[in-house]
């Protein structure tokens, strides 16, 4: 894994956790992965973990136009 990190140019040493975390963030940013599919891939015990640690916090919708 350390060699993989050097090849890809990661600033930190690549660890399985970091690769999993990065994958989770990418799925969150993509926006086209359902909660059920996400949990199936990442295998968290509950959706609360995704909501707390991976969910994109930037709001990209005009919320004033909705109301």
pLDDT for 65 beyond 70: yes
Query: What is the signed CA dihedral for 36, 32, 57, 12, rounded to 10 degrees?
Result: 90
Q: Name the percent of the chain lying above pLDDT 90.
A: 0
0.75 exceeded by pTM: no
Residues 8, 19 contacting (CB under 8 angstroms): no
pLDDT for 57 beyond 70: no
CA separation for the pair 21, 45 (Å, rounded): 15
Q: Which residue is listed with tokens 């968290």?
A: 44
Radius of gyration of the chain (CA): 15
**Amino acid 5: pLDDT:** 65
Q: Give the pLDDT confidence of 4-36 residue by residue, as tens digits.
A: 666 766 666 667 777 777 777 777 777 787 777
Domain chopping of the chain, boundaries: 20-58
């Amino acid at each position: 894994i350390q060699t993989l990190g050097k090849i890809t140019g990661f600033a930190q040493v690549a660890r399985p956790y970091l690769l999993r975390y990065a994958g989770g963030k990418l799925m969150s940013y993509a926006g086209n992965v359902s909660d059920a599919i996400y949990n199936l891939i990442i295998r968290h015990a509950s959706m609360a973990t995704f909501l707390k640690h991976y969910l994109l916090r930037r709001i990209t919708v005009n919320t004033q136009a909705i109301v």
